[in-house]
Amino acid sequence: MTVSSQESAMSGQEGIAATRGVLESLGLPRRDPGELPSSPSRFSDGAQWRVEIPSVEGPAPLRAVLDEATCRHVPVHRVSQGSGLMMLTRSETEEMVALGRAWGVEVSLFVGPRASWDVGVQATTPSGRVVSGSLRGADQLVYAVEDVRRGCELGVRSVLVADIGLLHVLGVMKERGDLPGDLVLKVSISLPVCNPATARVVEDLGATTINLPVDLTLAQIAGIRAAVSLPLDVYVEAADDFGGVVRHYEVAELTRVAAPVHLKFTVRNAPGIYPSGGHLAGVAEATARERVRRAELGLSILERYYPEATTTAAATVTGRGPGD
């Protein structure tokens, strides 16, 4: 190695050290941790984990989830939906909200308009898929805010947000009192939060819970946890169109490292159901039940390897639902 190349290498090492110092000065981790730390953060009730069942597309799939979870004694704390608020009628939305309140289950509904359903084509291309949840133009932004307003009028208190500008607007509207102060702004997996700095940005913009990409390593998740205190939503099993990862044997470490964490269970090798409707009713209900079964499998591994992990009490375990 020549003197000049040695100097260049040293300069590069110094540059890396300086950049890590910049991150540290911002209160961000210098690097992905090698030895994974246990997260000291918890939900407000002291719990480390809760269960989220995604792709619950209407009242019938929600009833199927509640029934299956009660039969299997699986705690369900949140259900989320992917077709969007705009694809639910007024009565369907109100029924989902009422079921959620009766069972103590958070019902999180997606904001309707997004680029993948708009007139644009970039979101359908291999390199442009990352923008699939974004909003194209001011009109689409208005439509999205109106979708949230309508949902809130019908009792919805949790929405999935996939556009960073929409997150900013909704966060400001909450602060001004234009939207309910208890409205949960759940960052969708379609708005990629892949590193600690991005996590800090969406937290500052008003996010109250963050759905992480399915393919982050435990170390990368630990780095994000070090930067924010918000609950993280992590797929233990993911759908095929999101990569189809199955991380059941990591569920104990995911819980230890990422707490407070929503453990999410969907189904590989299942057909897509967005946007859902009567033509897919049977599939939507059957896959909803199977997601609960997948949760039972994952939680059995959590019980085996991390039995001391704490969770929030759920009506689906006690069987106490409406009228009890």
Give residue 280's pLDDT: 85
Give residue 33's pLDDT: 76
Long-range contacts for 297-304 (Cβ within 8 Å, ≥24 apart)? Answer: 297/248, 298/236, 298/237, 298/248, 298/251, 298/263, 298/265, 299/51, 299/74, 299/75, 299/251, 299/263, 301/248, 301/249, 301/251, 301/252, 302/49, 302/251, 302/252, 302/255, 302/263
| Cβ-proximal residues to 295 (8 Å cutoff; 6+ apart), any chain | 51, 53, 69, 74, 76, 263, 265
E-strand stretches of the chain: 49-53, 78-80, 106-110, 158-161, 184-187, 209-211, 232-237, 261-265
- How is residue 52 written in tokens? 């989220």
Where are the chain's structural domains? 36-317
- The span from the CA of 229 to the CA of 261, in Å, is 10
Give residue 11's pLDDT: 60
| pLDDT tens-digit readout, 44-77 | 999 999 999 999 999 999 999 999 999 999 999 9
Average pLDDT of the residues in 20-49: 92
pTM (two decimals): 0.88
* pLDDT grade for 81, boundaries at 50, 70 and 90: very high
Q: What is the mean pLDDT of the chain?
A: 91
- The span from the CA of 88 to the CA of 103, in Å, is 20
Peptide bond into 33 cis (omega under 30): no
CB 264 within 8 A of CB 210: no
Query: Does position 3 have pLDDT exceeding 60, yes or no?
Result: no
| Cβ-proximal residues to 260 (8 Å cutoff; 6+ apart), any chain | 39, 41, 42, 43, 47, 48, 49, 50, 231, 232
Q: How would you class 292 by CB atoms within 10 Å of its CB: exposed for 0-12, middle for 13-18, buried for 19 or more?
A: buried
Of 3.40.50.10470, 3.30.450.20, 3.20.20.70, 3.40.50.720, the CATH number of 36-317 is: 3.20.20.70
Rg (CA), the chain: 21
* pLDDT grade for 129, boundaries at 50, 70 and 90: low
